[in-house]
Structure formats: C-alpha cells, structure tokens
Amino acid sequence: MIPPIRRDGTVDPAVPYIQPYYLLPLDGRHTVTIAANGASNQILFEGPQEGAFEGAMLLGTATSPLILVTQFEHRNRNLIVRPIHAATMFGGQIVPTGLATLGVSPFYMQETLWLLPRERLVINLMDLSGSENTVRLAIAGTLYVLAGSEAARQMIGGVSQLALRKSQISLPFWYTPEPTAGELSIVLAASATMQGNILISSEAAFNWKKTTSYHDYPYEITFYEPFSGRPLSPAPVHCDLITGTGMFPFVSKEGLFLKPSSRLNFTITNLSATHENAIFLTLHGQHIYSGLETVL
C-alpha cells in the first residue's frame, strides 16, 4: 500500500498504511557472536512500536552452519519440540567466500508469525563448531503502521485482535525426530537401518508441508501414513529427492495432516558403507490449535 503522502511530501500520521519491514534483534544489532564448543546465545526480537508486525520469512548468515536452534518461543509457546539444526530452518549453503549462508533465499514459514508492539520472540542458538561463530539474523514481513487518529487506532486495534486470534488458531511449527541416545541427532552406523517416529504434541494437530535435512552422508527414508500405516512411497526414497535445505526446502504438493498425539513412523538407512552418519531431519508446517472438530 502506498503511504498517505500529503501535497507537501510528508506522510499523514492520521492515516494507517502497510509497508515491507525487516525486523532485527532487540538491541538493533543483526550480528551476534557465539563462543565455540556448545556455547549459547539468546536473541530477542521485539515488535516495533510503529505498529503490528506480521513475520513471514526467516533470514540469516553465519560463519559456520553448525548451529542448533534450542528455543523459538512466541507468547510462552516454544515452536519447536527439541533443538533444530539452523541449516534446516534458516538455510545452509556454503558460498565461495567461506561464509555459511542461512538465508540468501529466505525460508518462508508455513504460517505467518505476528508480533504486536513490544511483544517479543525469543530465539536461543547453540554453537556446534570448534570456533567462534558470527551469526546475522532478521525476520522479513509486513508492518501495519500505527496512525494518530482515533479511527486509525481502532483499525490497528482490530488488526491486533486478529493477530491474537490467529495465533490461537494456528502457528508455524517445527518437528524433528528424537535423537540417538547421547547425541544431538539421529546417528547411524555404516550401512545401518533404524525405525523411528515423530510424536505430535497433544495440544495441537500438525499440518506437515516442508522437509529439510542436514547430514554427513546420503541416506534413504520411508515415511508411513499414520492412520493406515501405508508407506508414502513404494520403496525407500533418497534424501536428495525428498528433503532440501532451509534455503531450498522440499515442499509437498499436498500437506499431511497429523492428529494430536499421533506418531509419524519412518525407516531410515545410512547409504555410507564406511562412515557413521549424523542426520538432522526437520519437518515444517503449522500447529492447528482451534477448529479441529471440523477435520478430526
């Protein structure tokens, strides 16, 4: 929407409008340094005072892609069930300069995330590399700009109520399988096969739409439809054909709806005959908290 510009070239503060917006961490710095070897750093995003922010895209870069997202909390809800590899959530391409890119092509969340003025999003990152890691993060979306008139305030108040209601209905959400005991991910021995599952939360249904992975070596996987137990493919599928990265996730034509407390089962095989394989698998979609009576 074009801002309400007066004839003298100034913006009329009494008329609300919308604009693209890039939200940076609370302190205004988009660069955060994390110490090496398991050190953590908390990053706070705060809704801008100018209006209601609708976040749609996650962007970022890092000097190493070896980062875990251990917290992604919005309105006292953590939108991940366990740590997620950042390369599967923000991206993970190594560019020729050696900069590990987490978001040159931004990750589009399956559901937008609203932040009202001064409302906070808490992200905690943990380094997995052996050296100091410099991370830059931003969230891109739309800003519904506040205005000075009473009518405008009422309009923005309506947007705020819509944002609150929307977050009670659905939010973006990320799932990853339970890791191998004592590890941060699934770890398979050379040529090994294992059966696993992803347990959906009891508080919401999950609509699975995108799949990403960060792994040491190739693998094959078969997913099973949870209601009938039927496989989603006639044979195991190579990871390159069914998963992507945070920059380029694999997007299914049809989402798979998973009931609260259901389990998505899978069989996974390490295709390396000589090396152990650490696999960080991430399912992206939306948690649906309300209106389940129409689909269950």
Q: Quick check: 147 and 52 in contact, CB under 8 A?
A: no
- Between CA 56 and CA 113 the distance in angstroms is 7
Tens of pLDDT, residues 245-288: 888 899 999 899 999 999 999 999 999 999 999 999 999 999 99
CA distance 83 to 243: 18
Burial class (CB in 10 A: 0-12, 13-18, 19+), 4: middle
CB 67 within 8 A of CB 128: yes
Token digits of residue 105:
């092509």
Name the pTM for this structure. Answer: 0.85
Q: Note the pLDDT tens digit of each residue in 99-147.
A: 444 446 889 999 999 998 899 999 999 998 888 888 888 899 999 887 6
Going edge to edge, which strands form the sheet with 193-199? 193-199, 263-270, 219-224, 237-238
Domains of the chain in start order, with CATH, are: 17-169 (2.60.120), 174-294 (2.60.120)
- Say how far residue 257 (Cα) sits from the centre of its chain: 18
pLDDT in tens, 41-72: 999 999 998 888 999 999 888 888 788 899 99
